[in-house]
Amino acid sequence: MPHPAADRLPPLWQDLAPLLPADTEPAPWSGPRWWWAGVLDVEGLALGSLQALATALAAGTGAAGRGRDIALTSRGAAVSFASYTHLRVDGQAVGGFAPLSGFRRTIDGWVRLHANYPHHERALLKGLGVASPDDVDTALLRLSAPEVEERVTAHGGVAARVRTPKEWAESPAGRALQNEPWIRVDTEPGPAPKRAVGAALRGGSGGVLDGLRVLDLTRVIAGPSGSRILGALGADVLRIDPPATPELVEQHIDTGFSKRSAVADFADPAAYRRFRELFEAADVVLLGYRGGSLARFGLEPEALRADFPGLGVVSFDAWGDAGPWAGRRGFDSIVQAASGIASLYGGWDGDLWRPGALPVQALDYATGLGVAAAAAALMGARNRGISGAAHLSLARTALELMRLPAPPPGTERSELDPEVRTSPSAYGELTFVPPPLHVDGRQHDYSRPPQRYGSSGLVWE
C-alpha cells in the first residue's frame, strides 16, 4: 500500500536528474515514516538519501535492459545511520568521542570541540595556549566563543561556535551555501567507456556493481560509509590513507567492510607513481579531504577530469567549495554546532541552557549515501555517453535537513530493532548491521569483513 502524501519522502534523488534517464521513478520504500521524533526530520534525510542511492542504482540497471529491484526500508535506514553504535568487537561496544571532544562553555556561550585524532588534540591545546587537557576548561572560560573558534582553527584544530540557524544563514560561510543543491552535478559529453561498468549496469545478473573500480580517498565516516556500500554492491573499493595520520582503528572497522585498505605516502615518488597508475583503470574516485589540501598532488576534481577523461569524480568537504570556510576542517558534530542544529536541539538543564545533537550523525551518513548515489549515477550516465563530476558538503546536508518540514506534532519516538550479523575478522568476532538495501527482494549483505588496516598493495583485484 502506498504511503499517504504526508508520509512521502524528500525527493533528494532529483538532484541526480542530469545523470538519470528521463523516465526515472524513485525507488520504493516501506516502513514507518518517523521514529526518532525530534525537532528536525532526520528520518526524511535518512530515507531520502538512501532512496537517492537506490534510485540511481535501479535507473542504471534499467537503462541497459533488465532492471534490478532495489528497495529500502525504514529499519535499514535507521540502523545504518547508527552502524557505529551497533558495532561490537568480541562482544564489546566500540568507543565514542574522545574526552576533549564535545560541547564546552566559554565566557559568552558555547563551542563544540573535536579532538578524536591525536594531531587535532595537539592543535587544540596549542590554539588555547595550554599544555594539558586538564587546563582546557579554565582556558575556555577566559575566552569568547568566536575567539576560541578562530584561535583553534588558526592552529589547525577543529572547533565551532554554537550558532542559531539565523546567525549561520547570515554569516558569509552560511550565505555561500544558500543556492547550492544538495548534490551539485556537472556534466559534459564523455568518451565511450574503456570497458563495461558493472554487471547490473549492463543488465546482467551478478553483483549490482560488479567490475566497478573505486578509489576511496576519504576519511572518518561520510566518505568511508559511502564507499562501504559501493563495495557491498560488488565494486572493488581501494581506500588509501596517508601514513602520518592513520585512521582510528574502530572507525576503520565500522566502515571497512567489503573494501581493501592501503597506506601510501604521496610525497614518495615511487609510491605516487604506483598510485597514479591506478587511475588508468579506475572508474570512480571519491575525494573527501578539505578543499585545496590535495592540489599539490594533482588531485583536484578539475585536474583529474582533464588527466583521465571519463573518470567519475565525486568530491565532498565540510563547508562547501566556495565561501570563506572552503578550506576549513570540519566534522559532522562541528557542522551541527556552527549551522544551528545544536541550538535547535538544545534545552534547559536546571538553570543552565545546553546545546544538543542529532540522534545520530546524520550529516555524515546522508552525505556518504549522496556520494555513493552520485558515483552510481555517474557510471550509469557514462554508459550513455555522459561524463561528469559531483560535489557535496556536510554543511549543505545540514541546510537540507533544516529546510525539511518539521515532523508532525505528537510524533512519538520508537525503536526499530536492528537485524545483526556476526563474522570473524582480523580484529576479532564482529557483530554488525548489514547494508541498508534490499536487492531483488533479498536483504543485501557485505561480501567480507574489514581487512587489516593498510594490508593491501596499490593494485586492483
Neighbours of 304 (CB within 10 A): 21
Residue 27 lies in a domain: no
111 plus 247 within the same structural domain: no
255 plus 398 within the same structural domain: yes
Neighbours of 445 (CB within 10 A): 13
238 plus 311 within the same structural domain: yes
Phi, then psi, of 153 in degrees rounded to 5: -60, -40
Q: How many domains does the chain have?
A: 2
Residue 276 lies in a domain: yes
In the block, cell 573505486 appears at 214
437 plus 373 within the same structural domain: yes
Q: Where are the alpha helices (DSSP H) in 171-286?
A: 172-175, 222-232, 249-255, 269-278
pLDDT at 221 over 90: yes
pLDDT at 202 over 50: no
Instruction: Please state, in angstroms and rounded to a whole number, the distance separating the CA atoms of residues 455 and 137.
Output: 40
Phi, then psi, of 216 in degrees rounded to 5: -110, 100
87 plus 108 within the same structural domain: no
Domain containing 233 — which CATH number?
A: 3.40.50.10540
pTM of structure: 0.94
Instruction: Please state, in angstroms and rounded to a whole number, the distance separating the CA atoms of residues 457 and 447.
Output: 19
127 plus 47 within the same structural domain: no
Residue 90 lies in a domain: yes
In contact, 398 and 177? CB cutoff 8 Å: no
Q: What is the mean pLDDT of residues 148-152?
A: 97
pLDDT at 33 over 80: yes
In contact, 327 and 155? CB cutoff 8 Å: no
231 plus 118 within the same structural domain: no
Residue 33 lies in a domain: no
Give the side-chain half-sphere CA count within 13 A for 154: 10
Instruction: Please state, in angstroms and rounded to a whole number, the distance separating the CA atoms of residues 251 and 247.
Output: 7
121 plus 152 within the same structural domain: yes
Residue 192 lies in a domain: no
Phi, then psi, of 213 in degrees rounded to 5: -115, 120
Burial of 159 (0-12, 13-18, 19+ CB in 10 A): buried
In contact, 444 and 233? CB cutoff 8 Å: yes
108 plus 86 within the same structural domain: no
141 plus 230 within the same structural domain: no
Q: What is the mean pLDDT of residues 162-180?
A: 97
Cell numbers placing 261: 585498505
Going by C-alpha positions, the residue among 63, 314, 313, 322 that lies closest to residue 180 is 322
Please write the tens of the pLDDT for every residue from 252-302.
Answer: 999 999 999 999 999 999 999 999 999 999 999 999 987 777 888 888 999
Residue 460 lies in a domain: no
Neighbours of 103 (CB within 10 A): 17
Going by C-alpha positions, the residue among 326, 320, 359, 366 that lies closest to residue 341 is 359
In the block, cell 572508474 appears at 283
Please write the tens of the pLDDT for every residue from 301-324.
Answer: 999 999 998 899 999 999 999 999
345 plus 405 within the same structural domain: no
- Supply the range of the domain harboring residue 341: 102-175+328-354
Helix/strand/coil for 38:
coil
227 plus 335 within the same structural domain: no
Residue 15 lies in a domain: no
Please write the tens of the pLDDT for every residue from 76-120.
Answer: 999 999 999 999 999 999 988 889 999 999 999 999 999 999 999
End-to-end CA distance of the chain: 43
Higher pLDDT, 337 or 195: 337
Residue 86 lies in a domain: yes
